[in-house]
Structure 1
Amino acid sequence: MTRPLVKLHRARGKRYFYSKLNGCDVHPESLLERNFAIRQEFCDQVVEYACQPETAHGETGERSPDFLLEYADGTFEYIEVHREKDVDDEYREELNEFNLYFLATSQRPFRLVLDTEMCDIETDNLNFLYEYRHIGWPHKPINLPESITFGELLLMCEQQLTLPVLESKITALTLLADKHYEFNLSEDLNNDTLLRKR
């Protein structure tokens, strides 16, 4: 089974978890950064990421980007995650200067991601599904239909695999977490949620 989803590093107030994508613990410095990291775990374009990868020393001071993402096409990107209400013109100008610095020194862009760009319900769904992602669950129904509701999938797992209710639920959730099915992540997952085969 997987390690616990979230632990609180009480000494420094950081939230960290085991990254199944990276194969190691990652150490986001805030809940907002942690939520961004969880989203990368499900992103097909991201092959690896690092938290607080390095510190840059520019003319306006120093800055440690929150993330460095490596994409499937071989490119990299630095990410700063921030709350929109705390971003002003001065902050954007400072980030722009560091973007120019990173482009000049590493050819890697530096991008700002705001909390308003991350749907809360979508984040909640991904946080919930993460526990079931890549757990090596042995059960999988045969002849999966192209579309089905989540409630129907639960029933199918129970009847076709003759599993107890709890194991049927785990099976159905691993099918979602491992992206055999997709659904509208911006809506709460429930028995009536329509799933479509990928």
Structure 2
Amino acid sequence: MTITPDETRKVSPQYRAMRDTVEQMRDRLPGKFEITKEGIVHDMMAPGRPHEYTAGLVSRRLEKNMPDAIWAFMGTPDVEDEPEGIKRHPDVMVIAREDMEGEGSFHPSTLIAAIEIVSRSNPDNDWVSKMRDYPLLGIPIYAIFDPRTGTGAVLSEIHPTPQGPRYATRKDFVYGEDVTIGEWTISTDGLPRYGQS
């Protein structure tokens, strides 16, 4: 089932300018660009092998437990809510295969879960900014794997707060434990840590 964004919500000129700038910079500068309520986030270091290996392991382990119609997808495109002024790029997106059809960014309402592998160079982007943005976008589950510490958390159950929507439930885990993301449980055994050879 594809859910399209509400076309009646207006897109700000400021957001359009930031999005155009990000598109131009992606071809010229290394790293990862995203847009938040505060502006453009640039993680200057491209993800390293432990980061990408963790994302790949998490994706493969999830997909072994999922029906064929659900994917734990790595890669482009972004997740974007234009009227909200947010464009993010989760490391792994749990999404129905049919919602991947079409052109352009994914609308956040199509995601079952967003999964992030914490960046060595900008951990606050995953632990602070995305913890704020993902419930604002309505993404029902946010899982964080942190190779710096060998820990993580799964956040769910969005509820209103005076600061805006937030996740009400947080389940912390340490590497070596099983972790449940939505309906699927995977092992965290053998996930790489930064600084390990």
Q: TM-score, normalised by structure 1?
A: 0.33
Q: TM-score, normalised by structure 2?
A: 0.33
**Greater relative contact order (CA < 8 Å, ≥ 6 in sequence):** 2
**Which is greater in Rg?**
1
